[in-house]
Amino acid sequence: MFARKVAARLKPNSITEFTNLIECEILPWLRMQEGFLDLITLATSDGLEVATISFWDHQSNAQAYNACGYPQVLKLLEKLLDGPPYVKFFDVLGSTFQRVALTRRPEAENLVQDTALPQAGHRCHETRA
């Protein structure tokens, strides 16, 4: 398993819009990318710093996303960012998630694919002007 960490500073009062974009637009799109496994989104208590850690089955899939998909995500988020984010790649040496992913039943794969788009009643809200 491979991890990709992105950290950035946000402009003041933009954490709600950032969270909405991650949940409603970026995460559903990520779920369709080859090799994507999971995403963790973190924020400081003041909402001015965020980090995402995405997990990928192989380094090549993470790098393919970094080259082709990430520039589109940056365009979507650029109005919220207070400076350029930084990206780092990591080999996952150990994880409870890894054990779960390795023992996932085949029928569970369908559940992941079926949740690629936000469900009715999902808390996604339109935030664009």
Over its length of 129 residues, how does the chain's per-residue pLDDT go in tens digits? 999 999 999 999 999 999 999 999 999 999 999 999 999 999 999 999 999 999 999 999 999 999 999 999 999 999 999 999 999 999 999 887 655 555 444 443 443 433 333 333 344 544 444
Which pLDDT value is given to residue 24?
95
Which pLDDT value is given to residue 110?
41
Residue 125 structure tokens: 């809200």
Can you name the CATH fold of 2-111?
Alpha-Beta Plaits (3.30.70)
Cα 17 to Cα 22: distance, rounded to the nearest angstrom:
9
Which pLDDT value is given to residue 99?
59
Q: Where are the domains of the chain?
A: 2-111
Question: Rounded to two decimals, what is the model's pTM?
Answer: 0.75
